Structure 1
């Protein structure tokens, strides 16, 4: 791993909080992610299961965590199973965790090799009444190929059909959305790296450069600062490309007079930043570009003020929609008379601002959380309004990451250039 060591107190505390919420006399099993085939004899770069990392800090494939707080054998209240290395693996794949290293990272005392898993699990599982299985319950996710946790669940049901099976995801959905101090610091680090990459880009962009060259500048800055890489596929969208919400081709030449939409974020220690900026390729906004930019910025500032404990996503989005509608009328994109007759279920502003304003952020860019629950202290949410005008070849989105605290919210990206004058100043310095 490129990132610096994380205090094991984070993972010890996460396991304790999870176990407190399970039913009595329950065992929980968590698996690392699959290794996904990339070609004939290669796999994609391994990315750890977010829940598994949340509970262990272990960033390695073929690993299993077993939690059984009420286990009659105290040695097996927490057990971490790892792939045992050998000379062949060391030569071809490099270093793997030793037991001592895994203890230092996770705070789990009982570390076993993976070949002991079946025997140890069988020796204790029949004393448990409930088995907690971890599944991907993110409501944005749909699968066509069964992932490791699901496959292991089917195996457990065949071996132990009369146990009561429970969902770990219900507990983790509440826990993961509230960030601890350590998690906030890791997220801040991801934001700082993202800031430095953006400033680097501001000094690099000019007419004639390609979108992929800009992507390379960002990647360079990420890696030199110990980021794992991009938290998601970066969007480097110049001109009309900015109207494609998930544009990732990044293969066009940036033209004089165009606006470029940049949506990227560093991943550091598996925690993510998520930032969007819109900048003038030529270094100066035109009058119309500035009008739209300032409108989006006003919506953003108002929306950030509404991100606080107790707010509910649906009501928040409705209020943002009203502000956006007013701005679109001011830009002469909507007519006040038409708005007065609109269908409330299909508000007219969605023609130009068709996505949500905020989502939770953490170990996943679209982090696991209850979208129907009120915002809480410790939540980190994005704020990302946008206006997209295909007929003008113009798309502008702005996005910062916001932490809710007891004293109000904190903009974790407050030090990243945002005002139009500041962006122009850096681009022309």
Structure 2
């Protein structure tokens, strides 16, 4: 892996927390992701299953983790299964983890080759009553491709129909929502790499540059600092493209007088960062652009201060909507009397600000977590208000990553330039 070694205590503690929340006499199984095909014999870059990584730190394909807290034989309480290497694999694919290396990463002592899985698993199933299986239950997920976990569930239910099946997802969503100190440092590292990329862009952007050239500068800075690359598909949207929320074509020329909205973030050790900045292509905001920018910035600053323990996403988004509504009235985009008579279920501000302000951030850019759970110290959220005026060709979004603490919100991107005067100054240097 490109990233530096992670303290194995992170994964040891994560497994302990998982064991504390499952039923007695239970066995839990987590599979790695597949290496996904493209065409012919091509494959996509491998990305580990976030739950398996969270519990083990193992970042390799064809891996399985078993957790059986009450096993009478202590050696069976945590077991890793890995792909056994050979000279052919070494020649064609490179090094795979040894058992000793896997122990150093995960803190798990019992490690077998994956060819031994069914025999070991069958013997343990004779002892347990419940089996926890892993599923992708993210509320935004549109699951069409069958995963290794999904194939295993089919196999398991056919072979062991009398066991009680439980879902790991609710437990993992609960645990992963609160970040440990080690996790926070990894997210900070991702944010720092993202900062370096943004500062590089401020010196690069000018009229005539193509959106994809800006994306190339981002990749260069990410890879240079041990990131595997972007945590998600980068949005580099100049001019009217900024009003397309998930614009990823990144193929237009940046023109004099345009704004450019850039939504990107580095991944580091599988942890995501998520930044959005909107800057003038020529280095100077017009009066109207600055006016709209300052409104978005005001909403962002107000919203950030609401990311405190005890609040909830629903309450938070209602409050932010009210703040945004007032800014849109000041900008002349909404009429105050129309707002007073609006349908509360269809607030008028959503014409110009149609997405949510925050989402969980962690091992996934849209990380798992329960939207009804009150905010707690250790949660990390994005804060990303925006105003999109299609008829004016103006789209402005600003976004930082915020850590919830008992002493108030901590902005993990506080050193990344945000004020319009700072943006203009740095672009002119």
TM-score class, shorter-chain normalisation, is over 0.9
Unaligned runs of 5+ in 2: none
Look up the SS of the partner of 2:278 in the other structure: strand
Write the distance in 1 (CA, Å) between the matches of 2:253 and 2:379: 39
* Matched residue, 1:58: 58
Determine the structure 2 residue equivalent to 1:237. 237
- Aligned counterparts of 2:98 and 2:146: Cα–Cα separation in 1: 30
Could you say what the CA RMSD is over the residues aligned between the two structures, in angstroms? 0.6
The answer as to 2:348 corresponding to 1:348 is: yes
User: How far is the alpha carbon of 1:146 from its aligned partner?
Assistant: 2.2
| Mapped partners of 1:145, 1:248: distance in 2 | 22
Once the two structures are TM-superposed, the CA of residue 147 in structure 1 deviates from its matched residue by 1.6
- Secondary structure in structure 2 of the residue aligned to 1:278: strand
Aligned to 1:265: 265
Distance in 2, matches of 1:175 and 1:277, equals 31
Looking at structure 2, the residues matched to 210 and 142 of structure 1 have their Cα atoms a distance apart, in angstroms, of 32
CA-to-aligned-CA distance 1:50-78 (integer Å, 9 cap, x gap) = 00000010100000000111112221111
Q: What's the TM-score, normalizing by structure 2?
A: 0.99
Aligned to 2:326: 326
Residue aligning to 2:156 = 156
Q: Distance in 1 between matches of 2:185 and 2:163?
A: 40
Helix, strand or coil at the partner of 1:38: coil
Residue 414 (structure 1) aligns with: 414
Deviation of residue 144 (structure 1)?
Answer: 2.0
- Other-structure match for 1:36: 36
- Structural mapping, 1:216-235, within 5 Å: 216-235=216-235
2: distance between equivalents of 1:375 and 1:346?
26
Could you tell me which residue of structure 1 aligns to residue 277 of structure 2? 277
1:144 match? 144
**Matched ranges for 1:173-322 at <5 A:** 173-322=173-322
* Mapping 1:97-136, distance limit 5 Å: 97-136=97-136
Q: Number of residues paired by the alignment?
A: 429
SS at match of 1:137: coil
In 1: Cα distance, 2:145 partner to 2:169 partner: 19
Q: Deviations over 1:292-329 (max 9, x none)?
A: 00000000000001110110111110110001000000
SS state of the match for residue 204, structure 2?
coil
Offset from partner CA, 1:136-185 (integer Å, 9 cap, x none)? 11111121232211110110111111000001111111100000000000
C-alpha displacement of 1:385 = 0.2
Partner of 2:8: 8
Q: Distance between the aligned counterparts of 1:374 and 1:23, measured in 2?
A: 24
Secondary structure of 2:416's counterpart equals coil
Structure 2 counterpart SS, 1:333: coil
* CA apart distance, 1:89: 0.6
TM-score, length-scaled by structure 1? 0.99
Alpha-carbon shift at residue 87 of structure 1 (Å)? 0.6
Spell out structure 1 runs of 4+ moving beyond 3 A. none
